[in-house]
Amino acid sequence: MTIGNLAPKKEKKSRKSKGVIDENAPLLPKGQEDVVFDEFNGASFTGAVFNLSTTIVGAGIMALPATMKVLGLVLGISMIIFMAFLTEASIELILRFSRAGKSASYGGLMGEAFGKYGKVLLQISVLVNNLGVLIVYMIIIGDVLSGTSSSGVHHAGVLEGWFGEHWWTGRAIILLVTTLGIFAPLSCFKRIDSLSFTSALSVALAVVFLVITVGITVFKLFNGSIAMPRLLPDVTDVSSFFKLFTVVPVLVTAYICHYNVHSIHNELEDSTQIRGVVQTSLALCSSVYIMTSLFGFLLFGDGTLDDVLANFDTNLGLPYSSVLNDAVRVSYAAHLMLVFPIVFFPLRLNLDGLLFPSARPLVLDNMRFALVTIGLISVIFLGANFIPSIWDAFQFTGATAAVCLGFIFPAAITLKDRHNIATKKDKILSVFMIVLAVFSNVVAIYSDAYALFKNSSRRE
């Protein structure tokens, strides 16, 4: 399914012609555009692609090689491609219904379909998903730079390896400096297109990570030190079959970008380009995901950890191993630092819309803007210091808020069909998305809970 034009050409040739009617919508209300950004001529196609791609490619990429360990290469890569097409289909649905109802935001679209409770539910889902994702980002950055301990074993961080253990290489200090020096300044921009340069840089850093990983894998393939990986999942009993579904929340989380689509679309100079923006971004991100999963799993095989970055703290068995390890970890930590403000942008707007639904646009109230920003960053900072595992966060957000944002809400809006524009194919697809989302995530939660209970019983 492809993404059609969002409005007739006579209405959508330029940014100035866009009709933005819901002033209280959580994502870029009209008042913000008209009052604050009068001199802004619209975002470019390239900038929009970088911003959407940065929204998609976050910490989820680190868990994808571990999905290959569960699914095998053939099924794993097939699932990555399948999820990309399903994501495109769900974005097409929300944009088409947004055009029909002249909704300028995801929240406004949910409000139109299901009233104020639908809008509130959407806002809560964005809060849960984005808070969880940003906490994961900060956890990974802390692990990479200051180290982490697991099962009594300490894995030294990059700064510990370079300078030794000091108070200023400790986790809390590193995260505090990163928060004050990078996250806070980048989170103060009031327009998402202002982040297009940092988004481009973040995509480049992700490519650096990928190129190094591919280079290491190819080198080891030529010297014969890599064994043939499993092509298909290893299913021996009912428990191992159910385990296959535990990767679904991770795959869903890897593609969630729906909460930023309206913001990016609203700022486009020529909004008819949104079709190309979405398709280009998904193609780029899918390519990165497939190559990372393939070469990451080839490199580490069944020893691939839940966070593949953790595999880059040992001797890789090739020249300059420690330098390459550090380059991989630092490049991706820097990537996550630059992704942070892109995910933070809709988080702040949706929280403000939830707490102050009748207030004037957030960008017009500097005091409220500052208080909401400081409050959210403080919560994320505390969460990153007290939540130990990224897999736990991924499983929770992926099985709850992410699956709602990505599939259940778009499908529900389509089945509601307030404007009578849904085709039979749309409704069949919507039912399929809801059934797949609910079934897969119920099984994933059950499988994780069963494994946790089983491990606890063994320890006793």
- For residue 34, pLDDT over 60 is answered with no
Region 403-408 average pLDDT = 86
Query: Range with the lowest mean pLDDT among 27-31, 79-83, 244-248?
Result: 27-31
pLDDT score at 150: 56
Region 238-246 average pLDDT = 71
pLDDT score at 300: 78
- For residue 459, pLDDT over 60 is answered with no
pLDDT tier at 366 (50, 70, 90 boundaries)?
A: confident
pLDDT tier at 25 (50, 70, 90 boundaries)?
A: very low
Region 71-80 average pLDDT = 87
pLDDT score at 430: 93
Give the CA count within 13 Å in the CB-facing half-sphere of 335: 29
Region 207-227 average pLDDT = 81
Residues 6 or more apart from 330 whose CB is under 8 A from it? 144, 158
pLDDT score at 415: 93
pLDDT score at 139: 82
| Residue 16, φ and ψ in degrees, nearest 5 | -65, -20
Region 395-423 average pLDDT = 83
Strands (E) in 252-345, as ranges, are: none
pLDDT tier at 156 (50, 70, 90 boundaries)?
A: low
State percent of the chain over pLDDT 70: 78
pLDDT score at 454: 60
Fill in the amino acid letter for 230: R
Q: Which residue has the higher pLDDT, 1 or 396?
A: 396
Cα Rg of the chain, angstroms: 22
pLDDT tier at 149 (50, 70, 90 boundaries)?
A: low
107/260 Cα distance (integer angstroms) = 11
10/203 Cα distance (integer angstroms) = 34
Q: Are 293 and 77 in contact (CB under 8 A)?
A: yes
pLDDT score at 113: 87
pLDDT score at 90: 92
- For residue 45, pLDDT over 50 is answered with yes
pLDDT tier at 414 (50, 70, 90 boundaries)?
A: very high
pLDDT score at 444: 65
pLDDT score at 38: 45
Residue length, the chain? 460
Q: Identify the bridge partners of residue 155 per DSSP, sorted by sequence position.
A: 148
Q: What are 283-314's pLDDT values in tens digits?
A: 988 998 898 888 888 887 777 776 677 777 77
Q: Which residue has the higher pLDDT, 68 or 307?
A: 68
Q: CA 257 from chain center: how many Å?
A: 6
pLDDT score at 101: 83
Region 334-363 average pLDDT = 84
Question: What are the helix (H) ranges across 147-237?
Answer: 158-163, 171-178, 184-186, 196-222
| Residue 90, φ and ψ in degrees, nearest 5 | -70, -35
Query: Range with the lowest mean pLDDT among 136-140, 245-249, 445-449?
Result: 445-449
State percent of the chain over pLDDT 90: 10
Using DSSP bridges, classify how beta strands 153-155 and 148-150 pair: parallel, antiparallel or unpaired: antiparallel
Q: Which residue has the higher pLDDT, 279 or 358?
A: 279
Q: CA 439 from chain center: how many Å?
A: 22
Which range has the top average pLDDT, 80-89, 98-107, 238-247, 355-364? Answer: 80-89
> Could you give the dihedral angle defined by the CA atoms of residues 412, 414, 415 and 417, in that order, rounded to the nearest 10 degrees?
120
452/460 Cα distance (integer angstroms) = 13
Region 271-279 average pLDDT = 86
Region 233-257 average pLDDT = 75
448/427 Cα distance (integer angstroms) = 31
- For residue 1, pLDDT over 50 is answered with no
| Residue 154, φ and ψ in degrees, nearest 5 | -95, 125
pLDDT score at 91: 93
The mean of the pLDDT values for the chain is 77
The domains found in the chain, sorted by start residue, are 45-458 (1.20.1740.10)
193/79 Cα distance (integer angstroms) = 32
What six digits make up the tokens of 280? 């280009």
pLDDT score at 26: 44
216/218 Cα distance (integer angstroms) = 6
Q: CA 110 from chain center: how many Å?
A: 21
- For residue 394, pLDDT over 70 is answered with no
- For residue 42, pLDDT over 70 is answered with no
Fill in the amino acid letter for 445: I
Region 156-178 average pLDDT = 75
pLDDT score at 9: 40
Fill in the amino acid letter for 266: N
For CA atoms 362, 366, 372, 374, give the dihedral sign: positive
pLDDT tier at 48 (50, 70, 90 boundaries)?
A: confident
Strands (E) in 176-326, as ranges, are: none
Region 55-81 average pLDDT = 81
